[in-house]
Amino acid sequence: MGGGADHDHGMMVDGGMFMPETKKKNMMHMTFFWGKDVDMLFSGWPGRSLGMYLLALFFVFALAVMVEWLSHSRFFKQGSNRVVSGLAKTFLHAVRMGLAYLVMLAVMSFNVGVLIAAIIGHAIGFFIFGSRIFSRNDEEVESNQKNRSSLPPLKC
C-alpha cells in the first residue's frame, strides 16, 4: 500500500494520505529539485520546454539584478523638493519590494535552477551597483583629492 496506486478507487497513496491522481499531478514541490518541469509565479508557466525554462531563469536573474539596482541607485540629489522626492522614493521602494517578492515567490517553486538564477542575479547586481567598483563620480574624485592633499608627503 505504501507508495502504490489503489486501482479500485483511482487514488495515489502519498505519505500515508490518499489523494486523487489529478491532484497529485498538480501538487507543488515541497523540497528542492532539479529539472525544467516547474510551475513558477503563474499556473502553467514556464511550461515544459527547455527554452521556456531558460527564459524563466533569465527572467528571475533580471528581476534580481533590478532589485539590486533599485536598492543601490540614488535618483535624487540633495536640494530637490522634499515632498516630491519623498513620494518618488516611496514609489521606487514599493517597486523594489514588489520585485523582491516576485523573486522570493519564484524561488518558492523549490527549483534549484531558479534558486541559482536568483542568487547569481543578486550577486552580479550587487557587484555592479552595490560595490561601486564601476562608479567614479565627482564627489569621490574630490574626496580623494582632499585626502591626498591633507596627508604629509612620503619620506623615502
pLDDT tens for each residue of 131-151 = 988 876 655 545 554 554 454
CA distance 21 to 87: 51
Give residue-wise pLDDT tens across range 7-51: 444 444 445 555 555 444 556 677 888 888 888 888 888 888 899
Q: Are strands 5-6 and 11-14 parallel, antiparallel or unpaired?
A: antiparallel
Domain ranges, residue 24: 1-28
Residue 15 lies in a domain: yes
Query: Strands, E, within 37-121: which ranges?
Result: none
Q: At residue 128, what is the residue type? A: I
Residue 9 lies in a domain: yes
Residue 155 lies in a domain: no
CA distance 55 to 63: 12
Give residue-wise pLDDT tens across range 61-91: 999 999 999 999 888 777 778 888 889 899 9
- The DSSP line for 110-128 is -BHHHHHHHHHHHHHHIII
- Number of domains into which the chain is organized: 2
Residue 6 lies in a domain: yes
